[in-house]
Copies of this chain bind each other. A is one copy, B any other.
Amino acid sequence: MKYCSTCGHPVEQRIPEGDNRHRYVCVSCETIHYQNPKIVAGTVPVWEGRILLCRRAIEPRYGYWTLPAGFMENAETTVEAAARETREEALAEVNIDGLYSIIDVPHINQVHMFYRASLIDGQFGAGEESLESRLFAPQEIPWDEISFPTVRKTLELFLADLESTQFGVHVSDIRHALGKPTRQ
């Protein structure tokens, strides 16, 4: 950030009065431009015991398999965002069955939230951001080609819970040391 989105003048980094963190502050109109984490919402879509994954048609991680998920938009709920992303990426309509995983990813300022979901009619396809979608039995999950650490973690948790048929809500975080290569 270099310029004030309110008045167009340059911003500087400083600690505003009454605050204890550096913020972007406009040198002219004094507007403080806060920056906050974003939510990525998605689903674990299930049909007849199999899990629906999408193969990414976009970077990063082009060609890798992912759970349908994406940035939550303004004016929607996390449930709506998760269902929308599933519709957009996998062309699948789902019932949301419950919150499943919340994974903080602080080094990239994101919080990932996955809901358990059921395909309504077994229909699915490849949205614009997907090369293909496919149902995988638990033993077929392509572990060597999973897109992101939060997807891997959610799938690992889900398969473990699938055996016990107890689906709790899992809160965790994924951290990477500064400078360490990350695939997130």
Binding site for B on A (CB under 8 A): 1-11, 18, 21, 33-39, 71-80, 98-99, 102, 104, 106-107, 109, 111, 128, 169, 171, 173
Contacts and interface: CB of A to CB of B under 8 A. Distances in A.
Given A1-B5, A37-B72, A75-B107, 15 more contacts: A2-B8, A3-B5, A3-B7, A4-B5, A5-B11, A35-B74, A37-B73, A37-B74, A39-B39, A75-B109, A77-B106, A77-B173, A78-B111, A80-B106, A98-B171
A4 B77 CA distance: 28
Nearest to A21: B73
B74 A171 contact: no
A135 B170 CA distance: 30
Given A39-B39, A77-B173, A71 B3 contact: no
Interface of A is mostly: loop
B76 A106 contact: yes
Nearest to A174: B77
Contacts of A6: 1-3
- Give the top 7 A-B pairs by smallest Cβ distance, nearest first: A77-B104, A3-B8, A169-B169, A74-B109, A1-B5, A5-B5, A36-B38
A79 to B, nearest CB: 7
Contacts of A106: 74-77, 80
A74 B110 CA distance: 8
A159 B107 CA distance: 36
B3 A74 contact: no
Contacts of A2: 5-8
B5 A39 contact: no
